[in-house]
Structure 1
Amino acid sequence: MDITKDFHKLSAAGLLISLGVIFGDIGTSPLYVFKAIIGTSVITSNLIYGGLSCIFWTLTLQTTVKYVLITLRADNKGEGGILSLFSLVKRKAKWLIFPAMIGAAALMADGMITPPITVSSAIEGLKIYNKNLPTVPIVIGIISLLFIIQRFGTSVVGKVFGPIMFVWFSMMGVLGFVYLIEYPEVLRALNPYYAVHILVNYPNAWLILGAVFLCTTGAEALYSDLGHCGKANVRISWIYVKICLLVNYFGQGVWLLQHQGAFLNDQNPFFLLMPNWFLTPGIIIATIAAVVASQAMISGSFTLVAEGVRLNIWPKVKINYPSNQKGQLYVPSVNLLLWLGCMLVILVFKESRNMEAAYGLAINMTFLATTILMAAYLMKKHTPRYLIFLFLMVYLIIEFSFLIGNAAKITHGGWLTLLLAGLLFGVMLCWWWARKVKNNFVRYVDIEGYYPILSELTEDETVPRFASQLVYLTSANFRSEIESKIVYSILQKKPKRADVYWLVHVDVTDEPYTNEYKVDHLIKGKLIRIDFRLGFRVEQRISLLFRKVVEELVKNNEVEITSRYKTLQKYNMVGDFRFVVLEKVVSRSNNLKFTQRLVVDIYNLLKNFSLSEERGFGLDSSFVTIERVPLVISGTKEINIERVYWE
């Protein structure tokens, strides 16, 4: 049962859930944004007003306008995220797969740095008590515990996320408001003049732009987690979140104005807003909020990989479903991958100030990818061309400007996030490309020509019965076709007699939760094809789905599955079912082009770490026969050999 469905309509419960699930990442940005903007520079009014103005207009243009008002319109049956958006537009142009993969890889890489920077920023608040406190072991312990509990599901924890984040945002708002009422003149920073002035005149303007970008890094999560609570709840709750964020930022600005001419000396202005008596509870609340933000990124990565598997851009991996809640899933391999990435980030950078120098570079690529895919979506919806051009011009300029600002981070640690994103993109690209190469060598034949021989084979008692019900998974999209290798498997490799032959085809739809099937009786009672249409977020449990379909066909008297063995037939026993999975192997790959050979070799390497075909489709291995089928690249015509006769 989908317990989140009721929260898609505007409601108090939906608003509370959106606070907990959607805004974790962007909601913890005040922990490190102003600290990154000031850095080692002396505190000046120009820097403060310019920074505040940049923050306000970034949150307004990038988060509010682009994501909350425009991108949330591109929901796929209530679901969001870069791969959901790609599913909506992939028929528009084949090349759109590349920005989709780049954006997805960058989003996963971001998931490896978000937990370390948010948790580190919160825990480092303890340094107010002890400057020499070793925070790295504490951060490692908290993040490791977070990854350990993933296997148990987060539905129970998720129920308390909303109230926790409501306390967090309210706390930020109150802390900032106390300072804001002392010096309301700071609101002059709302004037875009200050943003333009600092970007034009400040000597390290690009570094400031890279730091400002951190205030909007969680914007993609607004879209990715849309399915949890619906766009109405996201849009309304964003009003409260944005107000609390801005009030806190402006409160930090007032505190900094009171300390002009000084240096931060690694102090965090967020914690300096707190009165001494509130420091301990404030740090505890900040740490819990950081864990919530980390959880949102981890859950988002699980969903991203599950979608990638079904869209054939990620190796088939084991996916567990700890609860019945829609969207609740756990991917053990990705959990380990993210944990290793987080540990690497912590051990390389150690402190949040070093992570700030690397953070934002990867997610900037996701923003650009979303802009490109969103433009394709607007074209699909027949939006006037001048509006599409305006959208592209505005956001490509903004996001390329941020990219230039973030490029300065490459030498300061950004190389690590780029490396992680590059490796993840390489996995996606090679998996997708190698499957394309293999599919080019799959040959299809007209199945009608084999109707007579298949009909006779079912009755030929000179051929041992291989199974009562023999099931093949086919990639043929049309009912009139079948892979030549399936025909070869049934008729030639080892003739396989069965009472009924079944062909099962799975079509992954562009919609998230499609769950349909169609039945074609190709040879009545002897050859049946079932086409499943499953959404890209639906678990492909083919064994259970097939059994359900067969039960319905038996109930409708469309098929007979009683065993034909005389003894078993006498007692009305159901015949045995046997699945045959053809594992396609590229042979003689030396005849491929260099790039094709390279991606096929990487694909074969990745297959060692991925699920087998039968486990990937949820088949019971005790009822499966695996046949390795060579895809021969070059035929015998290309071989020159001369026959001679010896005396």
Structure 2
Amino acid sequence: MASSQKTGINRLTFSGLLISLGIIFGDIGTSPLYVFKAIFNKNIIDADLVIGSISCVFWTLTLQTTIKYVLITLNADNKGEGGILSLYSLVKRRAKWLIIPAIIGASTLLADGMITPAITISSAVEGLAIHDPDFPVIPLVIIIITLLFLIQRFGTSIVGRVFGPLMLLWFSTIGLLGFCYIHHAPEVFKALNPYYAIQTIIHYPNALFIIGAIFLCTTGAEALYSDMGHCGKSNIRISWIFVKLALILNYFGQGAWLIGHEGQQIGTTNPFYAIMPDWFVLYGILIATIAAIIASQAMISGSFTLISEAVRLNIWPKVSIRYPSDQKGQLYVPSINLLLYIGCMLIIFVFRESDNMEAAYGLAINLTFISTTILMCFFLLRKHVKTLWVVVFALVYFSLETAFLAGNAVKISHGGWLTLLLAASIFGTMYTWYIARKIKNNYVRFVDIKPYYPIISELSKDKSVPTFASQLVYLTSANNKEEIEAKIMYSIINKKPKRADVYWLVHVDVMDVPHAKDYHVTSLIPGKLIRIDFKLGFREEQKISLLFRKVVEEMVKNGEIDITSQYDTLKKHQIPGDFNFVVLEKVFTKTSDLSWGKRIVMEYYRILKHFSLSEEKGFGLDSSFVTLERVPLNIPNTQHIELHRI
């Protein structure tokens, strides 16, 4: 089933190409709105610099987007899915430290999701100032972004159907506009020669600033990989040919306009709108605003998917994840929607104009690119690519992306500090959640379950112990089927003896693949103690209550288990017994025996726990059938206490 779905997704179709335009290329497709404006914002227009900048843009799109992402990285598909966490799932067994670049990449990608709507929509709407310099741009940008985030709760499947045709219109328009203006300065075609790019980088006195601005042309490249599961690599690769052509034509057209205004400063003029005929500017602004909204929507949807993966991979607190429509992959994460909105508003109020936002943009996503390169090197080794080629790949892209990082580092004092601060906050949350879980697991003690078989069998029949539930279910983290947490046995036998007709142990194993829904049943004590192991993909919804019910229904149907209540009256009428889930919440009673570093982690973890879902909600359990027991992980001992009996 999964294989056929994957084949269907990767099939080259017209609808697949159209969907790719609507979902994949929004961010990179709106870059002509601000790239040259960022390069020449403070510079006098110089023909050599224009040619060199266009050459830098062309070869950045070729090396970074076409070769690294479209041709190489798209091969790193995890059962048809892409994205930095999908890539991490493929290589994480090769080295434990790979979690660091994975978290850096994910956190910087989320930080980028905060600034993308602000800069793209601001750049588009600012075109209205051409006709009216006093036009209230910021209030309109705030209204558009607010509405965009408000509609997320209702799902965007209906809007999504028109994204493709609208982006087809966008790319056709910008390509045609650029093509029609190139004849004003045909010498822009010299930019196809990489010599001019190299000369600009080596000899231009403000080269680092230029490099940082050039990087903006490829900031959406990561989305090509992240959203691969929606349309397949074949559709992305073919549609990229059209997208790249449209982008290059537009950049060349803007370059022709800049050469025609050599010796001047562009001031508030945006070359993107300057190449439009006067009668078309208002239509151009409208199309650009729609494209900017689509780009922002794609970034928001991608952030929701990223967080849902992070939750299941245990690098983000358990948060509410909703499915507002029947469309496959359609998610809505209320807490992330609010976080992104607050981040967008913060960026707008701090920077106010897209000119200032450009100074902060690109720094965070640059770190995502470097993280992807690290993980890709391990993926290529895993695929037994010759070491020489892996070394060449690493040298080329670490050199390129380090150079871009140096250029973007110039932006730190100009506003890049804010995006770094946002990314660092997200990284701190992810890393704390991951490490705290590791610390807690070190204190979980497992015991051999076999010695408890006779006790459980006798307890189930012991009429002197009141029935706790007909079917008693525990969630266990024990990977070994012959082991069980000591705390679970303590809960059943010692804390308050719990008699049940059948005891169930449920274990959830998150697989390294995105989509899997498998389970295995082990009858430890026939008819008395049963273990169910769920093997779920990291993109699957963990509704354990429903999944467990489905398994039990199948077992009853197959005659493997009898869940009829043992109460005489209910048994007489063949009424099923009740089910009760017992969730053990593991807590630290003291942190004084931890190192100071781990103590800080656990204190931050306690704060995060207040904002995360409870254990039962996190596993999709119905709270009316759940008993929550708090169990200490480290019980203080009495050996150092001195008492005197009198």
Same fold (TM over 0.5): yes
Equivalent residue for 1:413, pick from 412, 415, 421: 415
- Quote how far apart the aligned CAs of 1:65 are: 0.3
Equivalent residue for 1:479, pick from 459, 475, 481: 481
- Secondary structure of the 2:79 match is coil
Equivalent residue for 1:184, pick from 163, 174, 186: 186
- Secondary structure of the 2:149 match is helix
List structure 1 runs of 4+ shifted beyond 2 angstroms: 1-8, 181-185, 633-636, 639-646
Residue 365 (str. 1) matches residue 367 (str. 2): yes
- Quote how far apart the aligned CAs of 1:563 are: 0.3
Report how many residues are paired.
644
Distance 1:644 1:550 in 2: 56
Higher mean alpha-carbon deviation, 420-429 vs 175-184, is at: 175-184
Distance 1:634 1:364 in 2: 47
- Secondary structure of the 1:324 match is coil
Superposed, 1:130-141 pairs within 5 Å as: 130-141=132-143
Distance 2:127 2:154 in 1: 30
- Secondary structure of the 2:506 match is strand
Superposed, 1:412-431 pairs within 5 Å as: 412-431=414-433
Q: Given residue 623 of structure 2, which amino acid in structure 1 is its aligned partner?
A: S
Superposed, 1:452-491 pairs within 5 Å as: 452-491=454-493
Q: TM-score, normalised by structure 2?
A: 0.98
Superposed, 1:190-209 pairs within 5 Å as: 190-209=192-211
Equivalent residue for 1:68, pick from 62, 67, 70: 70
Distance 2:356 2:642 in 1: 69
Structure 1 contact 4–326 (Cα < 8 Å) conserved: no
Distance 1:128 1:644, change over 3 A: closer
Distance 1:324 1:6 in 2: 19
Structure 2: 5+ residue runs without aligned partners? none
Distance 2:535 2:637 in 1: 35
Q: Given residue 522 of structure 1, which amino acid in structure 2 is its aligned partner?
A: L
The two structures, once aligned, show a CA RMSD in angstroms of 1.2
Identical amino acids, percent of aligned pairs: 66
Structure 1 match to 2:333:
331
Distance 1:399 1:61 in 2: 11
Q: 1:444-497: CA deviations, max 9, x gaps? A: 000001000000000000000000000000000011000000000000000000
Structure 2 contact 85–306 (Cα < 8 Å) conserved: yes
- Secondary structure of the 1:632 match is coil
Structure 2 match to 1:16:
18
Q: 1:78-112: CA deviations, max 9, x gaps? A: 00000000000010100000000000000000000
Structure 1 contact 470–577 (Cα < 8 Å) conserved: yes
Structure 2 match to 1:225:
227
Distance 2:188 2:8 in 1: 42
Structure 2 contact 185–259 (Cα < 8 Å) conserved: no
Higher mean alpha-carbon deviation, 332-341 vs 181-190, is at: 181-190
- Quote how far apart the aligned CAs of 1:633 are: 5.9
Distance 2:327 2:72 in 1: 28
Superposed, 1:120-159 pairs within 5 Å as: 120-159=122-161
Distance 1:7 1:538 in 2: 18
Structure 1 match to 2:88:
86
Q: 1:354-409: CA deviations, max 9, x gaps? A: 00000000000000000000001011111100001000000000000000000000
Structure 1 match to 2:251:
249
Superposed, 1:40-119 pairs within 5 Å as: 40-119=42-121
Q: TM-score, normalised by structure 1?
A: 0.98
- Secondary structure of the 1:357 match is helix
Distance 1:4 1:375 in 2: 24
Structure 1 contact 4–228 (Cα < 8 Å) conserved: no
Structure 2 contact 185–260 (Cα < 8 Å) conserved: no
- Secondary structure of the 1:487 match is helix
Distance 1:567 1:217, change over 3 A: same
- Secondary structure of the 1:536 match is coil
- Secondary structure of the 2:42 match is coil
- Secondary structure of the 1:628 match is strand
Structure 1 contact 8–228 (Cα < 8 Å) conserved: no
Q: Given residue 611 of structure 2, which amino acid in structure 1 is its aligned partner?
A: F
Q: 1:505-547: CA deviations, max 9, x gaps? A: 0000000001100000000000000000000000000000000
Q: Given residue 210 of structure 1, which amino acid in structure 2 is its aligned partner?
A: G
Distance 2:131 2:475 in 1: 64
Structure 1 match to 2:640:
640
- Quote how far apart the aligned CAs of 1:183 are: 3.1
Distance 1:518 1:567 in 2: 33
Q: 1:541-574: CA deviations, max 9, x gaps? A: 0000000000000001000000000000011100
Structure 1 contact 320–329 (Cα < 8 Å) conserved: yes
Distance 1:283 1:82 in 2: 34
Distance 1:283 1:213 in 2: 24
- Secondary structure of the 1:516 match is strand
Distance 1:594 1:130, change over 3 A: same
Residue 299 (str. 1) matches residue 301 (str. 2): yes
Structure 2 contact 586–630 (Cα < 8 Å) conserved: yes
Structure 2 contact 10–232 (Cα < 8 Å) conserved: yes
Distance 1:199 1:139 in 2: 35
Residue 602 (str. 1) matches residue 604 (str. 2): yes
- Quote how far apart the aligned CAs of 1:640 are: 2.7
Distance 1:333 1:555 in 2: 41
- Quote how far apart the aligned CAs of 1:7 are: 4.5
- Quote how far apart the aligned CAs of 1:324 are: 1.8
Structure 1 match to 2:539:
537
Superposed, 1:482-501 pairs within 5 Å as: 482-501=484-503
Q: 1:203-238: CA deviations, max 9, x gaps? A: 100000000000000000000000000000000000
- Quote how far apart the aligned CAs of 1:185 are: 2.4
Distance 2:8 2:21 in 1: 16
Structure 2 contact 45–258 (Cα < 8 Å) conserved: yes
- Quote how far apart the aligned CAs of 1:182 are: 3.7
Residue 376 (str. 1) matches residue 378 (str. 2): yes
Distance 2:345 2:215 in 1: 24
Equivalent residue for 2:280, pick from 267, 278, 282: 278
- Quote how far apart the aligned CAs of 1:643 are: 5.9
Superposed, 1:1-12 pairs within 5 Å as: 6-12=8-14
Structure 1 match to 2:516:
514
Q: Given residue 483 of structure 1, which amino acid in structure 2 is its aligned partner?
A: E
Q: 1:411-437: CA deviations, max 9, x gaps? A: 000000000000000000100000110
Structure 1 contact 589–633 (Cα < 8 Å) conserved: no
Distance 1:520 1:276, change over 3 A: same
Q: 1:16-60: CA deviations, max 9, x gaps? A: 000000000000000000000111211001110110010001000
Structure 2 match to 1:289:
291
Structure 2 contact 185–257 (Cα < 8 Å) conserved: no
Residue 350 (str. 1) matches residue 379 (str. 2): no
Structure 1 contact 38–47 (Cα < 8 Å) conserved: no
Structure 1 contact 115–294 (Cα < 8 Å) conserved: yes
- Quote how far apart the aligned CAs of 1:439 are: 0.5
Structure 2 contact 589–636 (Cα < 8 Å) conserved: no
Structure 1 contact 441–633 (Cα < 8 Å) conserved: no
Distance 2:216 2:644 in 1: 76
Distance 1:79 1:93, change over 3 A: same
- Quote how far apart the aligned CAs of 1:635 are: 4.2
Distance 2:428 2:268 in 1: 37
- Secondary structure of the 2:519 match is strand
Distance 2:221 2:474 in 1: 44
Structure 2 contact 9–229 (Cα < 8 Å) conserved: no
Distance 1:633 1:177 in 2: 73
Distance 1:5 1:332, change over 3 A: farther
Distance 1:541 1:60, change over 3 A: same
Structure 2 contact 43–265 (Cα < 8 Å) conserved: yes
- Quote how far apart the aligned CAs of 1:642 are: 4.7
Distance 2:219 2:643 in 1: 70
Distance 1:4 1:266 in 2: 48
Q: Given residue 181 of structure 2, which amino acid in structure 1 is its aligned partner?
A: Y
